[in-house]
């Protein structure tokens, strides 16, 4: 079936003011050629360390930042060149949940008004129908009816994220972009919010792009997982393949830091040397070569392409890619 969201060759470069970094004008290559698609009812986890460009991908899909190049297709429609009004209209189909619901919820509006606002903006239903829909959404995300008259500061972090989810659901979207939606929550609350999102996915056939810095967070919810490093996807695979048979050395390193429940799966700890290099001047060849435990001389010269095998497991590594014979 047609993907809900398709991203092709997405690039986002930022110019840096002259003076910074001591050169005339530098480019931050935040996202450097990212492609993926998400099917109806599917969750793609998008994971990487801080600064890898994963949040920028989410923002570019939503056009909260303008892509430098590439194409974003929502339900078969190219939305890359839509103007602001066009994007606002598409918000009925594509919604967002942010990491910190507190900063994304208007502190002077009651919770009920926050959830009703999109219905008012889009002129959906009478005032009475809107209030009924708000009451149903509160119940669905596990908030009490009397909490509709509360203000965001009166909610716990987990309740605020439930409120953000209720607002995102109000317009009946087909896909929700979650920008680290549980990263600010306690572990036990993270699990509750993820389970809620999975229940809502089953009920409404929702798709999710779930951005996180921790593979452990996306394991439960994702059907497929993409791992980003310095602006590029280095591995993308169905969940089981990524967690049980990772191929890229960077994915192995990230996975070795994730606690696993089953002792048989305990992984050898891989510690990467050094820090993530600056996206202003990424290393030539394979961008991971400065930290890769198995790098060979070729890696410094030639960039490895992202090659997929027939199962859809794609890896960008000279030594580890298992491409299908063409």
Q: Which residues bind ligand SF4 (CB under 6 A)?
A: 248-249, 286, 288-289, 292, 294-295, 299, 304, 317-320
Provide the minimum distance between the beta carbon of 229 and ligand SF4 in the complex, in angstroms, as a whole number: 9
**Is the CB of 232 or the CB of 313 nearer to Mg ion?**
232
Out of ligand SF4, Mg ion, none, what residue 55 binds, judged by CB under 5 to 8 A for its kind, is: Mg ion
Provide the minimum distance between the beta carbon of 249 and ligand SF4 in the complex, in angstroms, as a whole number: 5
Instruction: Based on the shown chain and the rule CB under 5 A, indicate whether residue 55 belongs to the binding site for Mg ion.
Output: yes
- Sequence-separated (6 or more) residues with CB below 8 Å from residue 67: 10, 11, 12, 31, 60, 80
Provide the minimum distance between the beta carbon of 286 and ligand SF4 in the complex, in angstroms, as a whole number: 3
Phi, psi of 138 (to 5 degrees): -60, -45
Provide the minimum distance between the beta carbon of 63 and ligand SF4 in the complex, in angstroms, as a whole number: 32
Provide the minimum distance between the beta carbon of 274 and ligand SF4 in the complex, in angstroms, as a whole number: 13
Give strand pairing partners of 229: 232
Q: How far apart are CA 234 and CA 219, in angstroms?
A: 17
Candidates 52-60, 71-79, 160-168, 262-270: pick the segment binding Mg ion (CB under 5 A): 52-60
**Is the CB of 55 or the CB of 290 nearer to Mg ion?**
55
Residue 169 in contact with residue 200, Cβ under 8 Å? yes
Q: How far apart are CA 229 and CA 236, in angstroms?
A: 12
**Is the CB of 58 or the CB of 249 nearer to ligand SF4?**
249
Which residue bears the tokens 């929502």?
74
Q: Which two tokens stand for residue 305?
A: 């392409």
Q: How many Cβ atoms are within 10 Å of 19's Cβ, its own excluded?
A: 9
Q: 193: part of which helix (H) or strand (E)?
A: helix 187-204
**Is the CB of 166 or the CB of 234 nearer to Mg ion?**
234
Candidates 41-49, 54-62, 67-75, 221-229: pick the segment binding Mg ion (CB under 5 A): 54-62
**Is the CB of 191 or the CB of 270 nearer to ligand SF4?**
270
Out of Mg ion, ligand SF4, none, what residue 292 binds, judged by CB under 5 to 8 A for its kind, is: ligand SF4
Instruction: Based on the shown chain and the rule CB under 5 A, indicate whether residue 56 belongs to the binding site for Mg ion.
Output: no
Instruction: Tell me the residue number closest to Mg ion, measured at CB.
Output: 55
Q: What are all long-range contacts of 191-198, with beta carbons under 8 Å and residues at least 24 apart?
A: 191/220, 192/158, 193/158, 193/161, 193/162, 193/165, 194/220, 194/221, 196/141, 196/142, 196/162, 196/165, 197/165, 197/221
Provide the minimum distance between the beta carbon of 212 and Mg ion in the complex, in angstroms, as a whole number: 9
Out of Mg ion, ligand SF4, none, what residue 289 binds, judged by CB under 5 to 8 A for its kind, is: ligand SF4
**Is the CB of 243 or the CB of 288 nearer to ligand SF4?**
288
Provide the minimum distance between the beta carbon of 8 and ligand SF4 in the complex, in angstroms, as a whole number: 23
Tell me which DSSP letter residue 148 carries.
G
Q: What are all long-range contacts of 252-259, with beta carbons under 8 Å and residues at least 24 apart?
A: 253/293, 254/47, 254/215, 254/227, 255/215, 258/214, 258/215, 258/216, 258/219, 259/216
Task: Give contact residues for Mg ion (rule: CB under 5 A).
Answer: 55
């Amino acid at each position: 079936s047609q993907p809900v969201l398709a991203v092709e060759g997405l690039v986002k470069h930022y110019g840096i003011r002259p003076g910074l970094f001591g050169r005339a004008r530098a480019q931050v290559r935040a996202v450097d050629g990212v492609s993926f698609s998400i099917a109806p009812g599917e969750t793609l986890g998008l994971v990487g360390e801080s600064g890898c460009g994963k949040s920028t991908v989410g923002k570019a899909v939503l056009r909260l930042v303008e892509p430098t190049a590439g194409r974003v297709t929502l339900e078969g429609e190219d939305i890359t060149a839509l103007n602001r009004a066009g994007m606002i209209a598409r918000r009925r189909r594509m919604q967002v949940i942010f990491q910190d619901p507190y900063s994304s919820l208007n502190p002077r509006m009651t919770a009920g008004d926050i959830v009703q606002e999109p219905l008012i903006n889009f002129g959906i239903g009478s005032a009475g129908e809107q209030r009924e829909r708000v009451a149903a959404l509160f119940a669905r995300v596990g908030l009490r009816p009397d909490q509709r008259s509360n203000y965001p500061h009166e909610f716990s972090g987990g309740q605020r994220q439930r409120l953000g989810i209720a607002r995102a659901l109000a317009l009946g979207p087909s896909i929700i972009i979650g920008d680290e939606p549980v990263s600010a929550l306690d572990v036990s609350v993270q699990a509750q919010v993820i389970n809620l999102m999975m229940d809502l996915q089953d009920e409404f056939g929702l798709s999710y792009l779930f951005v996180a810095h921790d593979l452990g967070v996306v394991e439960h919810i994702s059907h497929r997982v993409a791992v980003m490093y310095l602006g590029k996807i280095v591995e993308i695979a169905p969940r089981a393949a990524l967690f049980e048979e990772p191929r890229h050395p960077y994915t192995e390193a990230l996975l070795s830091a994730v606690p696993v429940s089953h002792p048989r799966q305990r992984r050898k700890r891989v510690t990467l040397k050094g820090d993530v290099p600056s996206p202003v001047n990424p290393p030539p060849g394979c961008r991971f070569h400065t930290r890769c435990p198995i790098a060979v001389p070729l890696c410094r010269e030639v960039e490895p392409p992202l090659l997929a095998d027939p199962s859809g497991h794609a890896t960008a590594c000279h030594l580890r890619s298992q491409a299908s014979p063409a």
